[in-house]
A and B are shown apart, each in its own frame.
Chain A
Amino acid sequence: MAGESAAAFLNVEGLTIRFGGLTAVGGLDMAVAKGSIHALIGPNGAGKSTTFNCISRFYTPSAGRITYDGRDITRMPAREMAGLGIARSFQNLELFGELTVFENVLIGAHVHAGRSWRDAISARPRGIVEHVDELLERTGLTSYAQTKARNLDFGHQKMVEIARALAIRPKLLLLDEPAAGLRNREIAALDRLLCELRERDGLTILLVEHVMQLVMSISDRITVLSFGTKIAEGTAAEVRAHPAVIEAYLGREAAQEAAHG
């Protein structure tokens, strides 16, 4: 346990979040290894998004500790996450709707655009514009660079969220239901992109997701939450066979059936 924590890139210990009298997450431990894709799954209301928002520092936990790259980030303000190399996307899309796709992604590079005085006053800071163009290329958005984000279809908007997060040049990418609402073709593209980010860019990715097709295909490790507590953790195969997981998702009967049958 201690060894695992030390090796973990992102480490969550005893995370507890209460809203009023309601405990949304109770004593969650989770370790995300560097360079892995880690999925956080569970039925509706399991506390996934709450955990996610705690790690990205939009919520502050009632108890527990979050460390990232050996650093305690439990009490740091959300706006400092980008500077540390933690990027996030939003479940319900929080795009800069009236701005172009290009500008959306350029704003993602905010923390890098102020390195020098010249960069800070430039509309097209050097080194950054090239990176933005590259990200648009990789996410298939090049031809929409000058389109207002609000005028894109849903699938492309989700890609803008990811491109914008990548412009932070993150070491840890937090994705909140990136595949929700996407069509099969788009999910396949997302699958390829995330794997490429892990293999080529060495990115660590934590995603909250409902789309099992994506989760099972790309995740190195999966943590399953139910009613605010961890009920299982392991590889896709381990989790899929875990009786508690089957019960949480399909009910008690199905779990028994799976056990006997």
Chain B
Amino acid sequence: MAVFALPPFPDLSIGPDMDLQLALIFLQQGIASGLVSGSVYALLALAIVVIFKTSDVPNFAQGEVFMAAGYVALYLFVFQKMPIWVVLPATLVVAFLAMALFRRFVLDQVAKSAKDLVYLVIATLGLSYVLKGLVRRTGFGDTPRSFPALVPTDSIMIGQASVTMLDLAIFGTAVTVMAAFFWMFNYTKTGRAMRAVGMNPKAAQLVGVDLRRCHMLIWGLSGVISAIAALLISPKILMTADMGSIVMLAFAAAIVGGFSSLPGAVVGGFVIGIVENMVGLFISSRAIVLAPFLAILIVLVLRPQGLFGGKLTIKKV
């Protein structure tokens, strides 16, 4: 799961005798790698939170949407030999449609017959199984593959941290996408409608927002963001049908950020990315897997509303 956290000095024994110089190098490397992986977690966390804010559903299929989008791109590019300028938009369109249609035809129906959260959650879990099953069915996932890198993977040094051009491209693209999303969400008419739906769906409907269309758009966009995350990360990892489990780091990021705050999700993504790499460098690579779950537990126990969430409200009687 710890896809980025390949410790650069895997054979060094790290103990109490680790000298300061080495610790400083580790620190810089941890932050640099953390910002790169964190930018992808931040994208996924954003995709999760924008849905939660507007639909009150934690989408447990987000990781599988991400995984499936990666395989769509792989299929089109490697197996169909399509040019990259077709593959990229095609992947995003597929992700958009899949999520929008799931919202429209599945969740609308579930929400109609059941109000309780557990039913919606199980429906998204169902989607995660279907997507995983579909990808396995195609057989592409049988052998781990990587998406060919479109940017050179030569290393460069920033300070004492080693990063690749690909890393910089990932970070840059992720930040650009997030900035574009925030602009859309805060300054366009569509974004205003989405925010209104998040605050009060009934009132939004009264002032003329088409709820159904708005929800489809949000889910579709969330799919697009997940697909971008997949396209960014897939050259760096071995793709398998289980790669969606990376979404746990995004959930951890979202929780650190308060689960309903979009800027919180982004900050949370970077925090989790850096923490994950630090754990890998300073503690052990075996503990990396545990890190996000501990982060979730600790944050929720100490501050159930997240680091960026508002105050807990007391129910009026």
Q: How far is the CB of A114 from chain B (nearest CB, A)?
A: 25
Tell me the residues in window 303-317 of chain B with beta carbons closer than 8 Å to chain A beta carbons.
317
Determine the residue in chain B with the shortest Cβ distance to A90: B317
Chain A residues near B317 (CB-CB < 8 A): 53, 58, 90-92, 94
Assembly CA distance A91 to B317 (angstroms) = 7
Number of interface residues of A (CB under 8 A): 6
Q: Give A81 Cβ to nearest chain B Cβ, in Å.
A: 13
**Binary flags per residue of A109-151, CB closer than 8 Å to B gives 1, else 0:** 0000000000000000000000000000000000000000000
Nearest-neighbour CB distance to chain A for B163, whole angstroms, equals: 49
Q: State the CA gap A9–B317 with chains docked (Å).
A: 25
Q: Which residues of B contact A53 (CB under 8 A)?
A: 317
**A interface: dominant SS:** loop
Whose C-beta in chain B lies nearest to the C-beta of A52? B317
- Chain B residues with CB under 8 Å of A91's CB are 317
Smallest CB–CB gap between A34 and chain B, Å? 26
Q: A94 to chain B: which residues have CB within 8 Å?
A: 317
Cα of A94 to Cα of B317 in the assembled complex, Å = 8
Give min CB distance, A117 to chain B, whole Å: 33
Q: Bound complex: CA of A58 vs CA of B314, how far in Å?
A: 10
Q: Which of A4-54 contact B (CB under 8 A)?
A: 53
- Rounded to whole angstroms, the CA-CA distance of A58 and B315 in the bound complex is 10
- Interface positions of A from 80 to 103, Cβ below 8 Å from B: 90-92, 94
Residues from chain B with a CB closer than 8 A to the CB of A58 are 317
B33-70 vs A, CB cutoff 8 Å, 1 = contact: the mask equals 00000000000000000000000000000000000000
Nearest-CB distance from B290 to chain A (Å)? Answer: 38
- B 269-317 contacts with A by CB, 8 A: 317
The residues of B that contact A90 with a CB separation of less than 8 Å are: 317
Interface string of A195-239 (1 = CB under 8 A from B): 000000000000000000000000000000000000000000000
Alpha-carbon gap, A94 to B316, bound state (A): 11
Docked pose: A92 CA to B315 CA in angstroms = 12
Q: Return B66 CB to nearest CB of chain A, in Å.
A: 38
CB A102 to nearest CB in B, in angstroms, measures 24
A209 to chain B, nearest CB (A): 17
A94 to B315, CA, bound (A): 12
A53 to B315, CA, bound (A): 12
Cα–Cα distance between A60 and B317 once the two chains are bound (Å): 14
Q: How far is the CB of A158 from chain B (nearest CB, A)?
A: 15
A95–chain B nearest beta-carbon distance, Å:
13
**Cβ of A20 to closest chain B Cβ, rounded Å:** 12
A55 to chain B, nearest CB (A): 13
Residue of B nearest to A53 (CB): B317
* Alpha-carbon distance between A92 and B317 when the two chains are bound, in angstroms: 7
**Mask: chain A, 228-261; 1 = CB below 8 Å from B; 0 = not:** 0000000000000000000000000000000000
Chain B residue nearest in CB terms to A92: B317
Chain B residue with Cβ nearest A78:
B317
Chain A 178-201 residues near chain B, CB threshold 8 A? none
> Contact string, A157-168, partner B, CB cutoff 8 A, digits 1/0?
000000000000
A-B contact pairs, 6 of them (CB 8 A): A53-B317, A58-B317, A90-B317, A91-B317, A92-B317, A94-B317
Binding site for B on A (CB under 8 A): 53, 58, 90-92, 94
Top 6 A-B residue pairs of the complex, sorted by shortest distance between their CB atoms: A58-B317, A90-B317, A53-B317, A94-B317, A91-B317, A92-B317
